[in-house]
Amino acid sequence: MFRILEAKELTTNIIQMVVEAPRVAHSCLPGQFLIVRVDPDGERIPLTICDYDREKGTVEIVVQAVGAESYKLSTLKAGDSFTDVVGPLGKPSELCEMSEEELKKKKIVFIAGGVGTAPVYPQAKWLKERGVDCDVIIGARTKDLVILEDRFKQVSNLIVTTDDGSYGRTGNVTVCLQDLWNEGNKYDLCIAIGPMIMMKFVCKLTKELNIPTVVSMNPIMVDGTGMCGACRLTVGGEVKFACVDGPEFDGHLVDFDQAMNRMKLYKTEEGRLYLEAKEGDTHHGGCGHCN
Ligand code: NAD
Ligand code: FES
């Protein structure tokens, strides 16, 4: 069992938890994720890691209650436990492989959309710990939905933008990025994490601006180990599985329209059967949903 040490609501339906998971905390790196199960009969829920403390053996997660299972998760309190915490899963961020010298030469901008703000934090913190400055754009629909602002101020040059203009700059993250670019911020690398539709439009803009862009893909995941095929994507014309080949990919090569369409189809049995027939050997059947 994995004990929850802290649980608090950051804003409506978005919960932050600190969980005792020493093995994950000991080895996880920015960019990786974990899968939890609330109880022995529960579904596996993939969650991005917001922070970790190797000494205390804890990981921090941020959860948005959007479905039955994540709602159940969001009702847990400090003192409750998860049945399983599996991780770290996926590959660490490319940033972890770059030397400090390489990183310091780059002007890096993170684009953090909505709940996708949480997994940006460990990357910005990683850079700060190595003396590397970065800009972070947090985009939220309204002021109430801006999360982790104080934490980001400590590790980055933070720019907040809200769609309705209720806080910070006005407009979505692409408007903000274009404005910053026009104001003279010539970025060498963009890392975008948030809803798929946001990442699609960020990549459209950064392609025009010629900024290499990394995205963190979060399609539906079931096993998180490359077996079931739920998280199948096409990247640069090749089949990839977000859980083992990613979650980070070159955003200019990702087929976002296919990924978004596939997520919709994967939610129904008929859709999964269609995908199985269409994708053939590359579908990676075996998740138990297909047959
Ligand atoms: P949201 O819909 O409130 O969007 C957040 C911000 O993204 C907006 O304020 C806007 O600035 C920007 N955005 C959205 N659509 C855009 C568009 N078409 N063009 C330009 N910018 C756009 O986000 P939310 O409700 O907090 O996000 C929930 C989604 O985020 C879920 O689908 C969840 O799966 C996803 N998510 C992704 C990751 C990841 O690793 N990629 C992590 C956590 C959550
Ligand atoms: Fe990636 Fe199953 S979740 S293959």
How does pLDDT run across 132-191, given as a tens digit for each residue?
999 999 999 999 999 999 999 999 999 999 999 999 999 999 999 999 999 999 999 999
The full set of domains in the chain, from first to last, is 2-89 (2.40.30.10), 94-214 (3.40.50.80), 217-291 (no CATH)
Quote the DSSP letter at residue 175.
H
- Ligand 1 contact via 115 beta carbon (within 6 Å): yes
CA distance 239 to 270: 22
> Ligand 1, closest atom to CA 174?
20
- Residue of the nearest CA to atom 2 in ligand 2? 228
**In the chain, which stretches have pLDDT less than 70?**
285-291
Residue 134's pLDDT is what?
Answer: 97
Q: Say how many Å lie between the CA of residue 110 and the centre of ligand 1.
A: 14
- Residue of the nearest CA to atom 43 in ligand 1? 116
> Residue 46's Cα: distance from chain center in Å?
10
Q: Quick: pLDDT tens for 53-63.
A: 999 999 999 99
Contact, 117 vs 63, CB < 8 A? no
Which of 47, 48, 69, 141 most suits a substitution to test ligand 1, by most atoms within 8 Å of the C-beta?
Answer: 141
Q: How many CB atoms lie within 10 A of CB 269?
A: 10
- Ligand 1 contact via 31 beta carbon (within 6 Å): no
- Ligand 1 contact via 195 beta carbon (within 6 Å): yes
Residue 281's pLDDT is what?
Answer: 78
Which ligand approaches the C-alpha of residue 167 most closely? 1
Smallest Cα–Cα separation from 15: which of 68, 83, 75? 75
